[in-house]
Structure 1
């Protein structure tokens, strides 16, 4: 965190209040980004497959999490329908997602509705994020919140962030950080509430925060306080039956990302990678051929004569290729260049996707020309337009 001692307005998460002759505290990165990065690190550490953001707002957290390879389902819920409609398109797959598909499927859905309502489509999640949400509830809604999220949804992990009012003493104004906040808790108040909820619903909880205080003010704690809850009891039968119950939320936006689990995309990626590797080896062979097809034979009056080398040598191998010397090498018969499938599958990504030569051959069927026994890719040696 960087502290700027200029006398000017106070800014916290975009809120500005005219207060002369006071210091401004700036966070680097901005506080909202620190909160999102905290959730991202949790995802990287615990590898959840299903993640929901309650009170998703402008969907910025979902935008960050959609790049996490472990996630297969992302859900955002918010009460502001117009905001969801406006930001939904930001979650659509781009051209790069089609050219380089994900390893796993990903479905993203935005729901319009209150997080205080029970919808069975929010059951069975691995992680539920409630970032700067609870402070917008009045006392009646706050009382409903644990029963819906901890009791009904009952995800494996819940992360809740909320302002730390102890830190507010460093700001020039004593009012809440947002005009819509119904309360802002001290660390003691938040921890008391969180421990009570955790004990009631069989969760453990750890406390942390983001937005470090400036030097000399460490006693106020972080600007944003965070509780990370982990389920310690077995899932109830009602939580396991994900598709039994009411659908109270309205789907505002949904999209699916291309992945290698979809056969069309997988075949397209395999074909492209095979084309690339075969063409790379062919070009290297052609360079080696040009370097050796004419060699000095004798000298007559200072003018050397050259001869054609009918059997060109095996292409020069790179360091990476030397580890593959025991694998069948590319070869040339007449004007045809052959690359054995055993060599192609030795390249890490192709080996990861296909697993074995038989599967690779299946992917290439009717797409790439193979030799008569189907053991090698066959291309024209001198056709520069192969690929």
Structure 2
């Protein structure tokens, strides 16, 4: 069956939640009936707002098949986020009260409630709106008034549905919940009817509930009750974050080494240019020096360090960088901290920069601890290596080498929407 909606209806429902997250920026979100974790995967891209992302489903086998898709990617370790994102998946029923899900900013229940019996719907209401006491709830469910427009459909949209509400029935339940637990609700939906048939409403009706008391309001069921933890934790992961000192140090060290190595290359390039200029003094009569000088200045203007342009006056190579007697180039810490934006942002203060680098074996400090030392390339070793290479090419071995060479689950109508 060809999809009736573009984009497909399940994507429209998920996008509705994503848009809500973008607008309201909740920090703690739980998806009830998370299934194959598709909504969670979309929400994890907005982890700059979300600190804790939780999924709950009664079918643990289905969750296990998809849960590893929520694991951090290699790029997440190369570019850690500033804030912490934790993801947890539980096996459990939405009719059970688990203390770990209290006080969330947002609870989502997408096409779930119609799978519950009437008695379970009553428990669901008490657990979500009374016990969990979130700041906001998004619930979507099929609109049975739209069913006659769905080709080939007889009965419910899914064999496991226990009921499918009309708009009046859904609104009656929602308003009763609001009156009982102190929420307000607005009704909307996704999946627009064809032109001329808009009176049947949306294919999926959605209720967006807001807690009138906020998360700090009275909790109907947990003030004097003992904590309950009936859910089984199936998966838990923390994304790499700058809040982790080990990760912060690793990123900072990488940034410092990147800057210092580029500065070393710049210093050696300047020194090489000065030597070459001395060797080609006689070209001045033909304008050779002027041409070389212009090319050199253009190259210097284009020099960048870790994506940021480095200006000669700003770094003052002749004043701040010098050669140690042991063959090292010395780069003052205050130069790195004040002139390298990301180094300064990551460390915060010059003292903190010194502290974070102090135990790092790949960073060598000057005797007074105020500068990073970078070993310079040994020109003599390079020249000697080149001479040996030339001797080898002139030998009989080179001639010999020239001649020898070198070696799921079944489909249902709702899936097709």
Asked if these proteins are the same fold (TM beyond 0.5), I'd say yes
Which of 83, 105, 125 is the aligned partner of 2:84? 105
Which of 31, 44, 66 is the aligned partner of 1:53? 31
Task: Mark the CA change 1:205 to 1:292 in structure 2 (over 3 Å): closer, same or farther.
Answer: farther
Please state how far the C-alpha of 1:179 moved relative to its aligned partner. 1.4
Task: Mark the CA change 1:118 to 1:353 in structure 2 (over 3 Å): closer, same or farther.
Answer: same
Tell me the distance in 2 between the aligned counterparts of 1:323 and 1:189: 69
Q: Which runs of no fewer than 5 residues in structure 2 stay unpaired?
A: 380-417
The answer to whether structure 1 residue 201 and structure 2 residue 194 are counterparts is: no
Deviations 1:83-133 (A, max 9, x none): 122223222333333333332333322211110111111112111111111
Structure 1 SS opposite 2:179: helix
Tell me the distance in 2 between the aligned counterparts of 1:126 and 1:227: 16
Tell me the distance in 2 between the aligned counterparts of 1:179 and 1:186: 18
Which of 123, 129, 132 is the aligned partner of 2:111? 132
Deviations 1:358-387 (A, max 9, x none): 111111113212233333322124379xxx
Which of 355, 358, 368 is the aligned partner of 1:373? 368
Aligned to 2:70: 91
Which of 281, 284, 287 is the aligned partner of 1:297? 281
C-alpha contact 2:5 2:191 (8 A) present in aligned 1: no
Aligned-pair Cα RMSD in Å: 3.5
Deviations 1:145-200 (A, max 9, x none): 11110001011111111122333232112432211112222333322322221222
The answer to whether structure 1 residue 339 and structure 2 residue 334 are counterparts is: no
Task: Mark the CA change 1:120 to 1:280 in structure 2 (over 3 Å): closer, same or farther.
Answer: same
Aligned to 1:219: 199
C-alpha contact 1:124 1:155 (8 A) present in aligned 2: yes
Tell me the distance in 2 between the aligned counterparts of 1:241 and 1:383: 72
Aligned residues: 359
More helix by share: 2
**1:1-387 equivalences in 2 (<5 Å):** 9=1, 25-28=4-7, 30-67=8-45, 68-172=47-151, 173-233=153-213, 234-236=216-218, 244-295=226-277, 296-298=280-282, 316=301, 321=309, 331-333=321-323, 335-346=327-338, 347-367=340-360, 368-382=363-377
TM-score, scaled to structure 1: 0.80
C-alpha contact 1:341 1:376 (8 A) present in aligned 2: yes
C-alpha contact 1:131 1:162 (8 A) present in aligned 2: yes
Deviations 1:322-357 (A, max 9, x none): 799667766233553333333433444333332111
Task: Mark the CA change 1:302 to 1:287 in structure 2 (over 3 Å): closer, same or farther.
Answer: closer
Q: Which runs of no fewer than 5 residues in structure 1 stay unpaired?
A: 1-8, 12-24
More strand by share: 1
Please state how far the C-alpha of 1:315 moved relative to its aligned partner. 5.6
Task: Mark the CA change 1:379 to 1:241 in structure 2 (over 3 Å): closer, same or farther.
Answer: farther
C-alpha contact 2:35 2:63 (8 A) present in aligned 1: yes
Deviations 1:208-251 (A, max 9, x none): 22233344443333322221111111422678879951111122
Structure 2 SS opposite 1:204: strand
Task: Mark the CA change 1:299 to 1:130 in structure 2 (over 3 Å): closer, same or farther.
Answer: closer
Structure 2 SS opposite 1:272: helix
Structure 2 SS opposite 1:179: coil
Aligned to 1:18: none
Aligned to 2:388: none
TM-score, scaled to structure 2: 0.75
Higher Rg of the two aligned structures: 2
Structure 2 SS opposite 1:345: helix
Task: Mark the CA change 1:190 to 1:269 in structure 2 (over 3 Å): closer, same or farther.
Answer: same
Structure 2 SS opposite 1:160: strand
C-alpha contact 1:108 1:255 (8 A) present in aligned 2: yes
Task: Mark the CA change 1:168 to 1:284 in structure 2 (over 3 Å): closer, same or farther.
Answer: farther
